[in-house]
């Protein structure tokens, strides 16, 4: 006979055996669940890694975008600097050509005036020489001839005085001398201005080259040197316009 305790014990053992049979019958069930958990953990970790990597990539792209924006801004500023230098170079080149033409024109005018002055001087010299010869001839001449010589000497004296100074026409020796000296002064001033504009033009060309090199090489101090050269060119141009004789070059 089986007692109540044995009955209970046997029943419990049977139940436990019956519960374990499915597990023993399917030995791969536990490993499959483990694999599922591992897969879920792997996917979760992959998701975290992907999210972290995406965030890092986003930060990197943002940083690169900021750097690109800074580079683009610097490039735009340098392009604007080059455009300003080129515009200033065009104006300086125009003034350079103009002053060169003015200098040539004033030099030709001064040369012509000096030639005219020398011609007037020669004519005056001839008249004065002939007047001296007539004076000698007058001493031994008869009164009629002396009167004719006197009239001729008077006419030559008036002509000699007109050769010496003629304010009405401005072609006397004194007027020609003043005009020739004024033309020479204009020529010298134009040449001095032309030199200043030439230095300004060369300085601007060098500034444009350095600014372009700063864009290509990414060297900032080249742009600062270009700005300094541009300021120097402005000083040269201002001297050429307002005070070309202040700084002889």
Token pair in block for residue 65: 């975008």
Question: Among 185, 184, 201, which Cα is nearest to 95's?
Answer: 201
Q: How confident is the model at residue 10 (pLDDT cuts 50, 70, 90)?
A: very low
Tokens of 183: 């033309």
State the pLDDT confidence band at 16, using cuts at 50, 70 and 90.
Answer: very low
Q: Which span out of 1-15, 61-75, 127-141, 227-241 was modeled with the highest average pLDDT?
A: 227-241
Q: Which class for 227: exposed (0-12), middle (13-18), buried (19 or more C-beta within 10 A)?
A: middle
Q: Which of 231, 244, 239 is nearest to 191 (CA)?
A: 244
- The residue among 15 and 173 whose pLDDT is bigger is 173
pLDDT at residue 57 in the model: 47
Distance CA 244, CA 59 (A): 59
3-state secondary structure 16-59: HHHHHHHHHHCCCHHHHHHHHHHHHHHHHHHHHHHHHHHHHHHH
Phi, psi of 133 (to 5 degrees): -65, -40
89 — pLDDT class (breaks 50, 70, 90): very high
The per-residue pLDDT for range 32-75, each reduced to its tens digit, is 556 655 666 655 555 555 555 555 545 555 455 545 545 567 78
Question: What CA–CA distance (Å, rounded) separates 154 from 157?
Answer: 5
- What distance in Å separates the CA atoms of residue 180 and residue 107, rounded to the nearest whole number? 9
Segment holding 25, helix H or strand E: helix 4-25
pLDDT at 141 over 50: yes
Query: 27 phi and psi, to 5 degrees?
Result: -65, -20
Query: For a pLDDT cut of 70, what percent of the chain falls above it?
Result: 70
Instruction: Report pTM.
Output: 0.63
In the predicted model, what is the mean pLDDT of residues 139-149? 82
Percent of the chain with pLDDT over 90: 44
pLDDT at 244: 87
- Give 170's DSSP letter: T
**In this predicted structure, what is the pLDDT of residue 135?**
84
Nearest residue to 200 (alpha-carbon basis) of 247, 152, 150 = 247
pLDDT band at 91 (very low <50, low <70, confident <90, very high): very high
pLDDT at residue 113, rounded to an integer: 95
Averaged pLDDT score across all residues of the chain? 79
| Band (199; pLDDT cuts 50, 70, 90) | very high
Region 116-125: what's the mean pLDDT? Answer: 93
How buried is residue 22: exposed, middle or buried, by Cβ count under 10 Å (0-12/13-18/19+)?
exposed
Nearest to 234 by CA among 106, 40, 91: 91
**What residue has token string 């004194």?**
174
Q: Which of 78, 86, 63 minimizes the C-alpha distance to 218? A: 78
Give the pLDDT score at 49: 52
Q: What is the pLDDT of residue 67?
A: 52
């Amino acid at each position: 006979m089986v007692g109540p305790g044995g009955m209970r014990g046997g029943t419990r053992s049977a139940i436990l055996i019956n519960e374990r049979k499915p597990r023993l019958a399917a030995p791969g069930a536990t490993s499959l669940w483990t694999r599922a958990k591992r897969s879920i953990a792997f996917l979760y970790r992959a998701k975290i890694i992907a999210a972290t990597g995406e965030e890092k990539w986003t930060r990197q792209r943002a940083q690169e975008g900021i750097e690109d924006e800074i580079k683009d801004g610097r490039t735009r500023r340098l392009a604007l600097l080059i455009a300003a230098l080129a515009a200033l170079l065009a104006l300086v080149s125009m003034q350079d050509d103009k002053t060169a033409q003015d200098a040539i024109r004033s030099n030709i005018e001064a040369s012509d005036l000096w030639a005219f002055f020398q011609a007037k001087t020669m004519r005056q010299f001839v008249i004065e020489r002939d007047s001296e010869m007539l004076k000698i001839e007058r001493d031994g001449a008869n009164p009629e001839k002396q009167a004719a010589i006197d009239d001729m000497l008077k006419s030559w004296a008036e002509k000699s005085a007109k050769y010496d100074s003629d304010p009405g026409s401005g072609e006397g020796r004194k007027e020609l001398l003043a005009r020739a000296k004024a033309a020479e002064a204009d020529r010298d001033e134009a040449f001095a201005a032309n030199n200043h504009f030439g230095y300004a033009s060369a300085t601007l060309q060098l500034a444009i080259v350095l600014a372009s090199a700063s864009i290509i090489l990414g060297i900032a101090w080249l742009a600062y040197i270009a700005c300094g050269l541009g300021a120097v060119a402005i000083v040269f141009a201002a001297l050429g316009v307002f005070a070309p004789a202040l700084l002889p070059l």
